[in-house]
Amino acid sequence: MKGVTVRESKRAEILDVAASLFADMGYSQTSMQDIMDRTGLTKGGLYHHFKTKEAIAVAVVIEGFAMDDTPPQVGPLQAVVDASILLAWLTPRVPVVKAAARLGTDQDLEKTYGYLWTQYIPAVEKLLVQAKLREEIKPGARPEEWCFAWVAAYTGVDLMTRQDYESLPRKIATINRVFVSGFATERALAELDMRAERGRELMERSPWARQYLREAAPQASEAPR
222 to 170, 172, 185, 203, 225: CA distances (angstroms): 15, 19, 35, 11, 9
Handedness of CA 61, 63, 69, 75 (dihedral sign): negative
Q: What is the largest CA-CA distance in the chain?
A: 61
31 lines the binding site for its own copies (CB under 8 A): no
Taking the least distance from each CB to its own copies, the nearer of 89 and 115 is 115
Q: For residue 137, what are the β-bridge partners?
A: 184
Site for its own copies in 105-134 (CB under 8 A): 105-108, 113-114, 117
DSSP 184: B
148 lines the binding site for its own copies (CB under 8 A): yes
44 to 31, 32, 118: CA distances (angstroms): 15, 12, 34
Site for its own copies in 164-203 (CB under 8 A): 171, 174-175, 177-179, 181-183
156 lines the binding site for its own copies (CB under 8 A): yes
Size of the site for its own copies (CB under 8 A): 37
CB within 8 A of 149, min separation 6: which ones?
A: 179
Give which of 121, 141, 224, 127 is closest to 182, Cα–Cα.
141
22 lines the binding site for its own copies (CB under 8 A): no
Q: In the bound complex, what is the minimum distance in angstroms from residue 31's beta carbon to its own copies?
A: 13
Q: In the bound complex, what is the minimum distance in angstroms from residue 181's beta carbon to its own copies?
A: 7
Taking the least distance from each CB to its own copies, the nearer of 27 and 212 is 27
151 lines the binding site for its own copies (CB under 8 A): yes
CB 95 within 8 A of CB 20: yes
Taking the least distance from each CB to its own copies, the nearer of 62 and 121 is 121
Taking the least distance from each CB to its own copies, the nearer of 12 and 123 is 123
**From candidates 11, 98, 102, 200, binder to its own copies by CB under 8 A:** 102
Instruction: Determine the 3-state secondary structure of 137 from DSSP.
Output: strand
Kindly indicate which of the ranges 6-14, 45-53, 77-85, 147-155 contains the residues binding its own copies, using the contact rule CB under 8 A: 147-155
In angstroms and rounded to an integer, the radius of gyration of the C-alpha atoms of the chain is 19
* Binding interface with its own copies (CB under 8 A): 26, 28-29, 102, 105-108, 113-114, 117, 140-141, 145-146, 148-149, 151-157, 159-160, 162-163, 171, 174-175, 177-179, 181-183
